[in-house]
A and B are shown apart, each in its own frame.
Chain A
Amino acid sequence: MIYLDNAATSFPKPESVYRSVDEAARWSGNPGRSGHALARRAEREIEATRVRVARFFNAPSPERVIFTLNATDALNMALKGFLQPGDHVVTSCLEHNSVSRPLAALAQRGVTFTKTGCDGEGKVDVEALAAAITPRTRLVVLTWASNVCGTVQPVPEVAEVCRRHRVKLLVDAAQAAGHVPIDVQATGVDMLACSGHKGLLGPPGTGLLLLGADVDVSPLREGGTGVASHLASQPDSYPQRLESGTPNTVGIAGLGAALDFLVQVGIERVFEHERQLIGALWEGLAAVPSVRDCGPSGPDGRVSLLSFNLEGWDPIEVATVLDQSFGICCRAGLHCAPWAHQALGTFPAGTVRFSVSYFNTLDDVEQAVQAVRALAAAGRR
């Protein structure tokens, strides 16, 4: 089997992640609730991972690293906990529906938003985005890299625009974290949301919300913080303010091991390896006349994913045949981002998406190209 669906969730995980998950499942109490050995052990695991996350992204402080269920959860927490009725938001047409749906829900509660466009290669128009900012704008929401076409967005430029207009910036890094180097402070990102189970190579059920020093997010869930039990209402201090109920100790322990792995390998090396794979994939597919890829017009400028269509085939047919006749796992369809497909002209059928990880090889992508070639040949008859 060749796994090319890493943008949905990464597979496999580093060996150390499996070991860490197994150990945490055997040896965890409820962190922060009791003083006994198992509770302390769980707490240590979680706090150590929190520190590692902060270092990995150069976040201002570990206590503003919030563990969430996944990137969708983190985005919902940020959007619904930060925005107030009357606020205006600027966002892009490339967003996942984990952004567009919460915004649609908030629009029912007095929040307004403007969706700005992108160019033919799937890159947002920074000037249009800046021009959309009004005196009521409090937040800009942008994906670091589109989950549909993979295009890396000009986050530093957008952060600069936000700084100039005194507007906060929330970045959805679901497809960037673990694939490209991210420095939250140097870039000027106020809130960063990502999953732990994609590029970060952690287990499912883990996600992150990183908060800058001067943003406040109200909790959507209350109670079960384990600390300050005497208080009638949710504590104000982070991370407890946003972490209610027993945490996913097992998943977080796995995420900690995954971050160790990424640090050990080096994010630059991961990036370089994946760039090579995607480059080879792009070259191979570009040589198939009936392939229409989307996103950047060359091999670079994208994260570790590539979307395309094959003339005469529904993308879901392509993915199904790749799975059963070639043992290649990939995803087809809208990838939960209908806006992006409308902007890129691939709505409603969507695209076929190949996405690689550090564990894929050149041989994997060559086989994928060969399979697509076989399909293209079959389609012609």
Chain B
Amino acid sequence: MRHSRYSRQILFPEVGLAGQERLAGSTAVVVGLGALGSGVADLLARAGVGRIRLIDRDYVDESNLGRQTLYDEEDCRQMLPKAVAAARRLREVNSEVEYEPRVQDLNARNVEEAIRGADVVVDGSDNFETRYLLNETCVKQGIPWVYGACVGSVGMSFTVLPGVGPCFRCFVPQSPAPGELPTCDTAGILSPAASAVAALEVAQALRLLLAKADDAVTRLKYVDVWSGELLALALARDPYCPSCVRGEFPYLEGEAGSGTTVMCGRDMVQVVPRVPVSLSLVQVAEKLGRVGAVTCNEFLVRATLEEGVELIVFPDGRALVKGTTRPGVARALYARYLGM
């Protein structure tokens, strides 16, 4: 380890030389490599965290370049998986770090293996399903994880210290229905909001890795970069929380969460919410109309989004994603445009 590259960070008394060496011996897992995950991975790499596992199911797309700082036009032309493009870029940033890129759609079958060996898991995902899955896995395995999310000009973050503070399920007891909440891909995102949340997340992750975490990390940090408003709120642990108190893990057991079916012989994947919802097709059409060409009738909404990708949405929350045979990509698109 070349200390000179970290000299300013080492000067910060909470880090010091011993702390820097501790970071070099640590493993962080970044789940989701969009705007948030790009910022998180970049800061972790520059801070000299020894091993960084980079997980994302999606591929670099032109609409990412506006705010996802790890990617460039060449990645987009080559249609690289985000995990691969991120690792390639980060090796140029800090070659001392060991990167483990994984093109992976996290689900009940692979999540435990995906975060094995992590000292901290940092959230760069864009959907509730992945967060519940991470929450259950981390609670079960006793691994701290840092939640982070942003949309528009606002963002928030807090750390789940399993068994100590509130978990994600204490904070959000139930997943909102698809289409219920705005997503960055329908309501927009201001790049500084993502940067602010990434910074908050990495600061907490560093405290965890340096074994200097206290109650402060479990507080909900809220930021609105437009108005400049900043808040830190103490969250209560739910004494009846199904996850961190009762030890029920429906997402990890594969009982909750959406399913996918690759349509036989077609460039198409069907995404089905596990629990049927009741969508207003008018609202869906209105929302998707902001980002693509939309046609609809009383049974479905068809939206042509990015080049070659068509999303057909049905009232019970089911969607056909045309233009891919990869379940991970289909779920990523579903999460981005409808929310999951």
- Which A residues fall within an 8 A CB radius of B? 314, 316-317, 320-321, 324-325, 333-336, 338, 348-350, 375, 378-379, 381
Contact = CB atoms under 8 A, between A and B. Distances in A.
A348 B314 contact: no
B263 A321 contact: no
B270 A320 contact: yes
Interface string B236-266: 0000000000000000000000000001111
Given A320-B314, A324-B315, A338 B297 contact: no
Contact of A379 (B266, B297, B320): B297
Interface of B: 263-266, 268, 270, 276, 297-300, 312, 314-316, 318, 320, 322
A145 to B, nearest CB: 20
Contacts of B315: 324-325
Nearest to A338: B265
A336 B314 CA distance: 25
B178 to A, nearest CB: 14
Given A379-B297, A381-B297, A324 B314 contact: yes
A340 B265 CA distance: 13
Contact of A350 (B266, B276, B318): B266
B320 A320 contact: yes
Given A321-B314, A324-B318, A316 B300 contact: no
A348 B266 contact: yes
Contacts of B299: 321, 325, 375, 378
Contact of A336 (B264, B312, B316, B318): B264
Nearest to A321: B299
Q: Which 10 A-B pairs have the closest CB atoms?
A: A334-B265, A378-B297, A321-B299, A333-B264, A324-B316, A334-B264, A324-B314, A320-B314, A333-B263, A378-B298
A146 to B, nearest CB: 16
A350 B264 CA distance: 10
Contacts of B270: 316, 320
25 contacts: A314-B320, A314-B322, A316-B263, A316-B266, A316-B268, A316-B270, A316-B320, A317-B312, A320-B270, A320-B318, A321-B300, A324-B276, A324-B315, A325-B299, A333-B264, A333-B265, A333-B266, A334-B264, A335-B264, A338-B265, A348-B265, A350-B266, A375-B299, A378-B297, A379-B297
A317 B264 CA distance: 14
Contacts of B300: 317, 320-321
Contacts of A348: 265-266
Nearest to B299: A321
B96 to A, nearest CB: 48
A277 to B, nearest CB: 25
Contacts of A349: 266
A144 to B, nearest CB: 22
B274 to A, nearest CB: 15
A10 to B, nearest CB: 19
Contacts of B316: 324
A336 B320 CA distance: 19
Contacts of A378: 297-299
A55 B221 CA distance: 75
Nearest to B320: A316
B80 to A, nearest CB: 27
Contacts of A375: 299
A324 B298 CA distance: 12
Given A314-B312, A333-B264, A375-B299, 7 more contacts: A316-B270, A320-B318, A321-B299, A321-B300, A333-B263, A333-B265, A333-B266
Contacts of B263: 316, 333
Nearest to A378: B297
A41 to B, nearest CB: 36
B166 to A, nearest CB: 37
Contacts of B264: 333-336
Contacts of B318: 320, 324
B266 to A, nearest CB: 6
Contacts of A314: 312, 320, 322
A18 B225 CA distance: 63
B324 to A, nearest CB: 14
Task: Tell me which of B264, B268, B298 has the highest count of chain A C-beta atoms within 10 A of its own C-beta.
Answer: B264
A42 B256 CA distance: 39
Nearest to A331: B264
A340 to B, nearest CB: 11
Contacts of A316: 263, 266, 268, 270, 320
B285 to A, nearest CB: 13
Contacts of B298: 378
Contacts of B314: 320-321, 324
A181 B318 CA distance: 41
Contacts of A335: 264
A24 B151 CA distance: 57
Nearest to A332: B263
Nearest to B310: A314
Contacts of A336: 264-265
A104 to B, nearest CB: 15
A80 B298 CA distance: 50
Contacts of A320: 270, 300, 312, 314, 318, 320
A350 B265 contact: yes
Contacts of A324: 276, 314-316, 318
A348 B298 CA distance: 26
Nearest to B265: A334
Contacts of A338: 265
B314 to A, nearest CB: 6
A32 to B, nearest CB: 37
A338 B266 CA distance: 11
Contacts of B276: 324
Contacts of B297: 378-379, 381
A348 B265 CA distance: 8
A92 B73 CA distance: 49
A320 B263 CA distance: 12
Nearest to A318: B299
A310 to B, nearest CB: 12
A379 B268 CA distance: 21
A317 B299 CA distance: 9
A349 B268 CA distance: 10
Contacts of B265: 333-334, 336, 338, 348, 350
B19 to A, nearest CB: 55
A336 B265 CA distance: 7
A324 B312 CA distance: 14
A349 B320 CA distance: 14
